[in-house]
Amino acid sequence: MSEHTPHGAWHRRSLLLGGVGVGAGLVAGGPLFDIAEAAPGTETRVHWSGRFTDPKTPDWHYLPFTMPRGVRAVHVSYDFSPHDTGLGYSTNVVDIGIYDSSGKGLGNAAGFRGWSGGARRHFRITRHEATPGYLAGPLTPGRWHIILGPFLITPPGTPWKVTLTLEHGDPTEPAFQHHFAPTAVPGTGPGWYRGDLHTHSVFSDGGWWPRRLVSEAQGRGMDFLGTSDHNTSSATRIFGRAVPDGFLVVSGEEVTTRNGHWLSTGIPPGTWIDWRYRAADNRLGRFTNLTRSLGGVAIAAHPKVPVPGTRWDFGASFAHMDAVEVWNGPWTFWNQQMVAAWQGLLAAGTYVPGVGNSDSHHSGQVVGLPMTAYRLSSLSSAEVVAAVKGGHCWIAESSDVDLDFTGTGTGPTTTVGGPGDTVTLADGEQLAVHLDVTGVPGTVGQLFGATGLVAGGVADQSGHLVIDAAVDPGEGFVRAEVRRATGTVDPMGDLSGLTMVALTNPVFVS
pLDDT at 5: 55
Under the banding of pLDDT at 50, 70 and 90, the label for residue 28 is: confident
Q: What is the per-residue pLDDT across 203-226, written as a single tens digit (0 to 9) for each?
A: 999 999 999 999 999 999 999 999
pTM over 0.85: yes
Q: How far apart are CA 424 and CA 199, in angstroms?
A: 38
Q: What is the per-residue pLDDT across 436-463, written as a single tens digit (0 to 9) for each?
A: 999 999 999 999 999 999 999 999 999 9
3-state class (DSSP) for residue 22: coil
Give me the domains of the chain, ranges plus CATH numbers.
2-168 (2.60.120.290), 191-396 (3.20.20.140), 402-509 (2.60.40)
Q: How far apart are CA 145 and CA 235, in angstroms?
A: 22
Percent of the chain whose pLDDT exceeds 70: 94
Residue 31 in this model has a pLDDT that exceeds 90: no
Q: How far apart are CA 113 and CA 130, in angstroms?
A: 10
User: When comparing pLDDT for 122 and 29, which is higher?
Assistant: 122
Least confident range from 6-15, 224-233, 342-351, 422-431: namely 6-15
For residue 339, give the nearest of 302, 388, 369 by alpha carbon. 302
Q: Is the dihedral angle over the CA atoms 482, 487, 491, 497 positive or is it negative?
A: negative
Q: How far from the centroid of its chain's Cα atoms is residue 221's Cα?
A: 22
pLDDT at 25: 46
What's the per-residue H, E or C state across 24-72?
A: CCCEEECCCECCCCCCCCCEEEEEEEEEECCCCCCCEEEEEEEECCCEE
Q: What is the per-residue pLDDT across 386-438, written as a single tens digit (0 to 9) for each?
A: 999 999 999 999 999 999 999 999 999 999 999 999 999 999 999 999 999 99
Report whether 142 contacts 66 (CB < 8 A).
yes
What's the per-residue H, E or C state across 130-196?
A: ECCCECCCCCCCEEEEEEEEEECCCCCCEEEEEEEEEEECCCCCCCCCCCCCCCECCCCCCEEEEEE
pLDDT at 87: 86
Q: Both ends of the chain: CA-CA distance in Å?
A: 75
Q: What is the per-residue pLDDT across 40-72, written as a single tens digit (0 to 9) for each?
A: 999 999 999 999 999 999 999 999 999 999 999
pLDDT at 1: 65
